[in-house]
């Protein structure tokens, strides 16, 4: 009874810059086939009621602040689950002129779920893992943020230079 | 009046105050379970509402300002007062006013913050009140016309089940219950399903324990409404319980078959068919 | 106890305000004027309280017949003069008719038509309640007006009349009102009636320009009522040989009663006649407060309560009167929902409540009568307070629009809290208004049609009040509230009335049991046709455990104080949810929250990081009701009922 946090994690879902692949897979978790509500997981639209922030997509200049705001509005204890490869490195968008990188450069991430997109099973697994962290956070055990999966794609020197140039152009 | 309450009544009051949220939680737990089964899902455990509320109380108490929270407290306390007054068998109109006050507190709490979503939810909640309040008063009027008394305890003096004399009012009351429980097609101000569209409407700016307070008040309200449904067959509690079950399932089917409709539609509907059904029933009782 | 002498008190209540009004008029210095107003207020309030404590008494003025006739002719002549001056032929015609009827009365008196003379002035419980309202709330509003008019006159158009004239009519109004409620002789009553009409005309037209037009409308409608009344009096003199309320009730003369009621409807601005009260909103706010709470409209409801108790035999007529009241109650509440102008909302709310008073008076049951008394009392205090608050808010933010009133809780916390108290007293338990509405519903239970109107009206009342309350208390988090500076005169009035509202609210059950119930029993003592059931309801209403309400509120506040107020941390403060697009940081910082106290906006970042304001308005049900169309329909129905009422009276 007293580990109620882990019995009713309410999830708010934030789409940063995703191609919607992860989002559709995440919504599939709610369907009768996967039915996350049997774990007490509710998909709610408001960070103020949430315990778990599920992020999809990479962070760009525009949405970094929004992500930060949504994160701030979640009451403690809270955990962040990052779905898909974009959230860790930028994925296919990495190196794009407007992309800052993974979610972890803006907010601390507790669980990364790899895949492009991850399977719903993997997502549920990730959330259940996050819920364990949530419970430990409630007890006051500070939990280290998740180790970031290795990023295989690295923009070449030229690409980086190009991106910087575009950015500068825009600011001028 | 207070000094006239004997020890048994005190016990009844205490028991109903403690039991009401548990009953409410079970009802909403069953609600979620049955809804899930209707949708072909497994659904959460029946005691899920307990988990939810206990969890909410372990969260950080974030708020927009202090006034907002006062309204949450008033909302809960007046909902509890309704239970107490019902247990004391007090004047039904006054009970209704206490209930309305409780709801208004929720509305005012939602409007006291500078948040557009909360504001929209509150406006819709007032529209809901406008839609169902006349019907509740008419039910009380119907009770008076039969018993010559406004006291809640007088219902027990009626020899025949209330459903016999006020079937049309019962139907209207079910609509009012559907509104109060935020069931489709009336779930315009806040909803269990519409997290994305309404951003949880009226309670959007409450979080953590404060949301928990509002949830508990909702449990009380659920218990009160189902108690009233049972009272429509007050002569036999088993049949009353059966009536309750039928009403419960009917509302769930309504919830799962309808989509959410607009406030305008709700107001027009409630002020036409159920209101006229109620008035017809009143005139029928009055002419008898 | 010479000072407690009834005659002296009577004279003080009626004449002192007029005398001090003259002082205020003639005074060349503002200081002297203010002083005379304060002095007069104290005297009138003291006299009002004393006459209430004193036992009921009667008073006959030697030669009163002649004096009253002269005064009446004089006041009608003044209205005649005004009618000629503003070239309103309708008013002229009606005033001439009034004059003709008065002359007819004089001729009758001289040709040997005997009229039974009774006492001229008297106090009874009903009178005392009205005197208390007039002579306590009236002066409080007058003191407020000192502060308000100072500010008002600085911005007033050049066409505005002088402050001296304003205060003369303002204060004299109280005297006339006191006279009106104490008069038993209908001649005196008509004189005071016309005098209040004249006062309201002058006060509404204070600012000149457009307000003159509205004042003219008020004069027109009230003169219509006055004509109906004088016709009623003439009828009474000719057919029943009496010209006092006592005689009217003894004779059970239905036609004069109906005519008096029509006069009362005009003064109370019931449904077909409501336009003058809405137009009167153009006047300076203290005038609205005075018209709505202490005087004018209360005169109408007083008259209805005065004449109806004797007429339970004419059930049909009473039914029609009840219906007008009930229609007004629901109709005005419906119209109030569509309004965003604060003063118009207040006006419609007043009309609606007066409708309920008339409906209760028409039901003719003890419970309804007690409810009517309670509504008059509690409404006077709350509405007076609300007008004063709105006046102050208007001067401060420069708008009467409810939608502009967001954020004032931070900017003017005292006024806003006082306004909140006033508004809550209009619809929430345990305040008296709700109590009265409760009794009204319990009393109308045997007439379903009326009941449905009252239920719908109550629901709509809750709707428009809670909308407004929600708007004015909207604010952001501030560690400290603004300090509010207020003119001492205005501050005094606001605090006094707020305390009055709170105390009467807390003690509403007690006041009901201690005052209204006994008065009602006295009024209905001679009635044998009242079934035991009604008295049972009466007892049940008196037995309600109101203490539970206070316990509940106490628990809520205590829990709140213990669990929240003391532990509240600034680090727990967040900005509202705007999909994460808040323009400011979502965590509390002083600057972010300081900038965000707009009246109506929620700043968010839009396309291209532009900061824009989102705005969610309050619902006015505009897609349901159009004020103009609804008014036309409601007026039409109300006129039909008035005609039915007149027809009903003649048929009997």
Secondary structure of chain B as H, E, C letters: CHHHCCHHHHHHHHHHHHHHHHHHHHHHHHHHHHHHHHCCCCCCCCCHHHHHHHHHHCCCCCECCHHHHHHHHHHHHHHHHHHHHHHHCCEHHHHHHHHHHHHHHHHHHHHCECCHHHHHHHHHHHHHHHHHHHHHHHHHHHHHHHHCCCEHHHHHHCCCCHHHHCHHHHHHHHHHHHHHCCCCCCCCCCCCCCHHHHCCHHHCCCCHHHHHHHHHHHHHHHHHHHHHHHHCCCCCHHHHHHHHHHHHHHHHHHHHHCCCCCHHHHHHHHCCHHHHHHHHHHHHHHHC
pLDDT average, residue stretch C528-547? 61
Q: How far apart are CA C484 and CA A54, in angstroms?
A: 46
- The mean of the pLDDT values for chain A is 81
Please measure the distance between the N-terminal and C-terminal CA atoms of chain A and give it in whole angstroms: 58
Q: What is the pLDDT of residues A6-31, one digit of tens each?
A: 888 999 999 988 889 999 998 888 88
Contact: C574, A73; criterion CB under 8 Å: yes
* Residue of A47, A62, A68 with shortest CB distance to C577: A47
Q: Which residues pair with A79 in a beta bridge?
A: A52
* Residue of A1, A40, A43 with shortest CB distance to B195: A43
Secondary structure of C29-83 as H, E, C letters: CHHHHHHHHHHHHHHHHHHHHHHHHCCCCEECCCCHHHHHHHHHHHHHHHHHHHH
Buried (b) or exposed (e) across A97-123, using 16+ Cβ within 10 A?
A: ebbbbbbbebbebbbbbebebbebebb
Range scoring the smallest mean pLDDT among A164-168, B69-73, C80-84: A164-168
Which long-range contacts (C-beta less than 8 Å, at least 24 apart) are formed by C563-567?
C564/B61, C564/B66, C564/B69, C564/B70, C564/B73, C565/B66
Q: How far apart are CA C455 and CA C437, in angstroms?
A: 9
Any chains having at least 3 CB pairs less than 8 A from chain B are A, C
Across C397-401, C456-460, C486-490, which has the greatest mean pLDDT?
Answer: C456-460
B161 Cα to chain C: minimum distance (Å): 22
B165 pLDDT exceeds 60? yes
Determine how many CB atoms are found less than 10 A away from the CB of residue B113.
28
Q: Which of residues 561-580 of C touch B (CB under 8 A)?
A: 564-565, 568, 572-578
pLDDT average, residue stretch C304-317? 83
Interface probe with C: pick from B84, B97, B138, B197, most Cβ of C within 10 Å: B97
Q: How far apart are CA C16 and CA A52, in angstroms?
A: 74
pLDDT average, residue stretch C19-48? 87
CA-wise closest residue to C124 among C184, C60, C49:
C184
pLDDT of residue C53: 85
Contact: A70, C581; criterion CB under 8 Å: no
Q: How far apart are CA C593 and CA C595, in angstroms?
A: 5
Residues from chain C that touch B141, judged by Cβ atoms under 8 A, are 441, 445, 448, 451
Please measure the distance between the N-terminal and C-terminal CA atoms of chain C and give it in whole angstroms: 50
Instruction: Compute the radius of gyration of chain C from its Cα atoms.
Output: 25
pLDDT of residue B7: 85
pLDDT band at A172 (very low <50, low <70, confident <90, very high): very low
Determine how many CB atoms are found less than 10 A away from the CB of residue C16.
19
Strands A79-83, C58-59: pairing kind: unpaired
Start-end of H helices in C133-209: 138-155, 163-182, 186-204
B5: CB partners within 8 A, 6+ apart: B13, B88
Interface probe with A: pick from B31, B58, B62, B218, most Cβ of A within 10 Å: B58
Any chains having at least 3 CB pairs less than 8 A from chain C are A, B
* C586: nearest CA partner in chain A: A69
Phi, psi (5° rounding) for residue A107? Answer: -130, 155
* Residue of C441, C451, C576 with shortest CB distance to B115: C576
* Residue of C574, C575, C581 with shortest CB distance to A66: C581
CA-wise closest residue to C309 among C263, C259, C361:
C361
A69 Cα to chain C: minimum distance (Å): 5
Domain span at residue B217? 2-287
* Residue of C459, C537, C560 with shortest CB distance to B134: C459
User: How many separate domains does chain A show?
Assistant: 1
Q: Does C579 touch chain A (CB under 8 A)?
A: yes
Q: What is the pLDDT of residues C166-218, one digit of tens each?
A: 889 998 999 999 989 888 888 889 999 999 999 999 998 888 778 888 899 99
Q: What is the pLDDT of residues C434-479, one digit of tens each?
A: 888 888 888 888 788 888 899 999 999 999 998 899 888 888 777 7
Residue C538 and residue C367 in contact, taking contact as beta carbons nearer than 8 Å? yes
Q: How far apart are CA B119 and CA B108, in angstroms?
A: 9
Contact: A72, C587; criterion CB under 8 Å: yes
Residues in chain C: 652
**What distance lies between CA A22 and its chain's CA centroid?**
10
Q: Does C470 touch chain B (CB under 8 A)?
A: yes
Strands A111-113, A42-44: pairing kind: unpaired
Determine how many CB atoms are found less than 10 A away from the CB of residue C250.
14
pLDDT band at C542 (very low <50, low <70, confident <90, very high): low
Could you give the 3-state DSSP secondary structure of residue C574?
strand
Where are chain C's structural domains? 1-311, 312-544
A68 pLDDT exceeds 90? no
Contact: A8, B41; criterion CB under 8 Å: no
pLDDT of residue C599: 44
Q: How far apart are CA C394 and CA C504, in angstroms?
A: 27
In order of C5, C58, C520, the CA distances from C55 in angstroms are: 11, 10, 17
A1 pLDDT exceeds 90? no
Contact: A72, C581; criterion CB under 8 Å: no
Instruction: State both tokens at C82.
Output: 């005004």
The residues of A whose Cβ lies within 8 A of any Cβ of B are: 1-2, 4-5, 7-8, 32, 35, 37-40, 42-46, 48-49, 51, 73, 75-77, 138
Q: How far apart are CA C164 and CA C512, in angstroms?
A: 40
pLDDT of residue C587: 57
Contact: B48, A7; criterion CB under 8 Å: yes
pLDDT of residue A72: 87
Q: How far apart are CA B276 and CA B272, in angstroms?
A: 6
Instruction: Compute the radius of gyration of chain B from its Cα atoms.
Output: 19
Domain span at residue A74? 4-171
Q: What is the domain-level CATH number for residue A27?
A: 3.40.50.12280
User: How many separate domains does chain B show?
Assistant: 1
Q: Which of residues 600-619 of C touch B (CB under 8 A)?
A: 602, 614-616, 618-619
Q: How far apart are CA A129 and CA A162, in angstroms?
A: 40
Could you give the 3-state DSSP secondary structure of residue A165?
helix
Q: Does C581 touch chain A (CB under 8 A)?
A: yes
The structure's pTM equals: 0.90
Residues in chain B: 288
Instruction: State both tokens at C119.
Output: 């006492």
Contact: C428, B101; criterion CB under 8 Å: yes
ipTM of the complex: 0.91
Contact: A8, B199; criterion CB under 8 Å: no
C595 pLDDT exceeds 90? no
Q: Which residues pair with A56 in a beta bridge?
A: A15, A83
Residue B288 and residue B164 in contact, taking contact as beta carbons nearer than 8 Å? no
Instruction: State both tokens at B285.
Output: 């009782």
* Residue of A1, A7, A75 with shortest CB distance to B207: A75
Secondary structure of C408-465 as H, E, C letters: HHHHCHHHHHHHHHHHHHHHCCCCHHHHHHHHHHHHHHHCHHHHHHHHHHHHHHHHHH
Q: What is the pLDDT of residues B167-180, one digit of tens each?
A: 999 999 999 999 99
Q: What is the pLDDT of residues B201-259, one digit of tens each?
A: 888 889 889 999 999 999 999 999 999 999 888 888 899 899 999 999 999 999 889 88
State yes or no: cis peptide before A55, omega within 30 of 0: no
Q: Does C89 touch chain A (CB under 8 A)?
A: no
Residue A90 and residue A102 in contact, taking contact as beta carbons nearer than 8 Å? yes
Contact: B130, C463; criterion CB under 8 Å: yes
B151 Cα to chain A: minimum distance (Å): 40
Instruction: State both tokens at A120.
Output: 């719903």
pLDDT of residue C141: 92
Contact: A73, C581; criterion CB under 8 Å: no
Residues from chain B that touch A38, judged by Cβ atoms under 8 A, are 36, 41-44
- The mean of the pLDDT values for chain B is 88
Residue A25 and residue A57 in contact, taking contact as beta carbons nearer than 8 Å? no
Range scoring the smallest mean pLDDT among B71-75, C316-320, C429-433: C429-433
Q: How far apart are CA C138 and CA C486, in angstroms?
A: 20
């Amino acid at each position: 009874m007293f580990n109620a946090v882990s019995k009713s994690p309410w999830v708010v879902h934030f789409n940063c810059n995703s191609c919607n692949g992860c989002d559709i897979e995440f919504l599939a978790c709610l369907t009768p086939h996967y039915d996350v509500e049997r774990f007490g997981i509710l998909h709610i639209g408001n960070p103020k009621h949430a315990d778990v922030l599920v992020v999809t997509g990479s962070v760009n200049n525009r949405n970094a602040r929004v992500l930060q705001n949504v994160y701030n509005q979640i009451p403690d204890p809270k955990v962040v689950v990052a779905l898909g490869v974009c959230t860790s490195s930028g994925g296919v968008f990495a190196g794009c002129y407007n992309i800052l990188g993974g979610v972890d450069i803006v907010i601390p991430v507790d669980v990364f779920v790899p895949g492009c997109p991850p399977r719903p099973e993997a997502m549920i697994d990730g959330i259940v893992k996050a819920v364990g962290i949530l419970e430990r956070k409630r007890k006051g055990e500070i939990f280290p943020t998740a180790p970031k999966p290795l990023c295989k794609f690295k923009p070449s020197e030229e690409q980086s230079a190009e991106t910087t140039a575009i950015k500068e152009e825009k600011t001028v | 009046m207070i000094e006239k309450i004997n020890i048994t009544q005190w016990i009844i009051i205490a028991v109903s105050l403690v039991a009401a949220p548990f009953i409410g939680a079970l009802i909403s737990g069953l609600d979620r379970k049955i809804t899930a089964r209707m949708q072909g899902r497994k659904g959460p455990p029946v005691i899920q509402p307990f988990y939810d509320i206990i969890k909410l109380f372990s969260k950080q108490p974030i708020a927009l300002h202090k006034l907002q929270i006062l309204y949450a407290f008033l909302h809960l306390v007046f909902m509890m007062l309704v239970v107490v007054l019902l247990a004391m068998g007090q004047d039904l109109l006054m009970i209704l006013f206490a209930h309305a006050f409780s709801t208004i507190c929720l509305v005012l709490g939602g409007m006291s913050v500078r948040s557009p979503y909360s504001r929209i939810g509150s406006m819709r909640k007032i529209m809901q009140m406008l839609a169902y309040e006349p019907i509740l008063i008419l039910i009380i009027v119907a009770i008076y016309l039969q018993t010559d008394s406004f006291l809640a305890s007088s219902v027990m003096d009626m020899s025949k089940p209330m459903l016999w004399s006020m079937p049309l009012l019962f139907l209207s009351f079910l609509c009012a219950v559907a509104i109060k429980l935020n069931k489709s097609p009336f779930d315009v101000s806040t909803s269990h399903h519409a997290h994305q569209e309404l951003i949880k409407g009226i309670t959007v700016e409450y979080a953590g324990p404060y949301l928990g307070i509002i949830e508990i008040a909702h449990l009380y309200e659920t218990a009160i409404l189902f108690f009233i449904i049972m009272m429509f067959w007050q002569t036999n509690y088993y049949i009353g319980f059966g009536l309750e079950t039928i009403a419960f399932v009917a509302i769930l089917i309504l919830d799962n078959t309808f989509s959410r409709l607009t406030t305008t539609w709700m107001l027009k509907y409630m002020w036409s068919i159920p209101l006229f059904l109620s008035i017809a029933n009143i005139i029928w009782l009055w002419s008898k | 106890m010479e000072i407690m002498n009834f005659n002296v008190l009577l004279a003080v209540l009626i004449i002192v305000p007029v005398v001090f009004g003259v002082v205020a008029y003639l005074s060349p210095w503002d200081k002297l004027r203010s002083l005379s107003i304060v002095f007069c207020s104290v005297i009138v309030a003291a006299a009002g309280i004393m006459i209430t404590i004193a036992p009921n008494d009667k008073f006959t003025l030697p030669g009163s017949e002649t004096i009253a006739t002269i005064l009446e002719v004089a006041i009608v002549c003044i209205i005649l003069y005004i009618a000629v001056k503003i070239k309103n032929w309708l008013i002229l015609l009606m005033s001439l008719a009034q004059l003709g009827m008065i002359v007819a009365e004089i001729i009758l008196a001289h040709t040997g038509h005997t009229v039974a003379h009774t006492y001229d002035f008297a106090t009874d419980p009903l009178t005392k309640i009205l005197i208390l309202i007039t002579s306590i709330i009236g002066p409080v509003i007058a003191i407020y007006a000192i502060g308000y008019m100072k500010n008002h006159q600085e911005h007033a158009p050049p066409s505005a009349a002088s402050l001296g004239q304003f205060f003369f009519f303002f204060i004299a109004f109280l005297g006339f009102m006191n006279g009106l409620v104490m008069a038993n002789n209908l001649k005196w009553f008509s004189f005071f009636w016309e005098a209040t009409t004249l006062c309201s005309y002058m006060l509404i037209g204070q600012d000149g320009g457009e307000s003159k037009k509205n004042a003219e409308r008020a004069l027109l409608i009230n003169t219509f009522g006055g004509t109906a009344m004088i016709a009623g009096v003439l009828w009474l003199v000719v057919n029943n040989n009496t010209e006092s309320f006592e005689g009217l009730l003894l004779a059970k003369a239905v036609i004069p009663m109906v005519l008096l009621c029509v006069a009362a409807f005009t003064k109370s601005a019931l449904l077909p006649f409501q336009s003058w009260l809405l137009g009167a909103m153009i006047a300076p706010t203290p005038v609205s407060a005075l018209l709505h709470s202490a005087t004018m409209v209360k005169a109408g409801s007083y008259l209805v309560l005065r004449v109806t108790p004797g007429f339970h035999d004419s059930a049909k007529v009473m039914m029609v009167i009840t219906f007008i009241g009930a229609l007004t109650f629901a109709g005005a509440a419906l119209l109030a929902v569509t309004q965003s102008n604060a003063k118009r909302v207040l006006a419609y709310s007043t009309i609606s409540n007066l409708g309920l008073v008339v409906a209760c008076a028409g039901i003719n049951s003890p419970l309804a009568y007690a409810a009517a008394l309670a509504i008059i009392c509690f409404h006077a205090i709350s509405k007076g307070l609300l007008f004063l608050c709105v006046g102050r808010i208007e001067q401060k933010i420069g708008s009467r629009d409810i939608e502009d009133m967001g954020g004032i809780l931070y900017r003017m916390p005292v006024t806003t809290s006082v306004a909140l108290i006033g508004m809550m007293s209009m619809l929430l338990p345990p305040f008296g208004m709700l109590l009265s509405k409760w009794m009204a519903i319990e009393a109308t239970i045997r007439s379903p049609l009326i009941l449905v109107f009252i239920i719908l009206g109550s629901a709509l009342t809750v709707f428009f009040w809670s909308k407004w309350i929600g708007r004015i208390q909207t604010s952001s988090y501030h560690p400290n509230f603004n300090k509010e500076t207020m003119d001492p005169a205005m501050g005094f009035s606001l605090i006094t009335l707020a305390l009055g509202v709170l105390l009467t609210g807390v003690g509403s059950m007690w006041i009901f049991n201690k005052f209204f119930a006994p008065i009602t029993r006295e009024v209905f003592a001679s009635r044998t046709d009242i079934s035991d059931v009604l008295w049972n309801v009466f007892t049940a209403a008196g037995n309600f455990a109101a203490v539970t309400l206070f316990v509940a509120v106490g628990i809520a506040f205590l829990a709140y104080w213990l669990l929240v107020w003391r532990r509240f941390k600034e680090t727990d403060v967040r900005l509202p949810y705007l999909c994460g697009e808040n323009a400011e940081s979502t965590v509390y910082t002083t600057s972010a929250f300081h900038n965000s106290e707009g009246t109506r906006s929620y700043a968010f970042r839009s396309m291209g990081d532009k900061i824009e304001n989102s705005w969610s308005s309050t619902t006015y049900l505009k897609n349901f009701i159009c004020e103009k169309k609804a008014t036309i329909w409601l007026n039409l129905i109300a006129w039909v009922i008035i005609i039915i009422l007149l027809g009903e009276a003649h048929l009997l």
